[in-house]
Amino acid sequence: MKYRIIGADGKMYGPVGLEQIRQWLAEGRTDSRTPVLPEGAADWTYLGLLPELAAAFTASPAAPGATVRPAPMARGTNGFATAGLVCSLLAWTCCCCGLPFGLLGLIFSLVALVQINSQSPPQEGRLLAIAGLVLSATNLLFGLAALIWQLAFGTTTINWQNGHF
């Protein structure tokens, strides 16, 4: 019988025979939670649930002093980083001059950077948060400069044809 598996790298391998899977188990490349699709089956299952591999997973406990490798943790993208970038892009797209999207983008991006730096292992999204922070900050500065211009010169439009500001 042949099998297809999904490796730890997310790629599909196979079809391979039972001996190849046993070799990968011995090498630590697969474990009982590795997804497998037996030939002719309609649904994926796990290696630990296959009757033909039951003996491989009923081994005695680890020897004293042996180190157990923990399963890798999923590292998703930080949601605040995504929200910060989206809000900062909305601030520039809608010409909001900082409010409300620029301010929200700045806050979300700062929260994302704090969360990303405080977690182990860190989540993805650092570049998204930095981009959101830069775009939001520049949008807020642009809005502040526009407000100062308006207050200083008392005008909201520039008449370029006559040379009057």
CA angle 21, 17, 20 (to 5 degrees): 35
Q: What pLDDT is stored for residue 68 in this prediction? A: 47
Tell me: the pLDDT tens digits for 24-52?
888 888 888 889 999 888 888 888 888 88
85 near 99, Cβ under 8 Å? Answer: no
pTM of the model: 0.50
Tell me: the pLDDT tens digits for 63-72?
454 444 555 5
Q: How far apart are CA 141 and CA 153, in angstroms?
A: 18
Q: What is the mean pLDDT of the chain?
A: 82
Residue 12, beta-bridge partner list: 6
Q: Which of 67-71, 90-94, 103-107 is the most confident on average?
A: 103-107
Q: Which residue has the tokens 């939001």?
A: 136
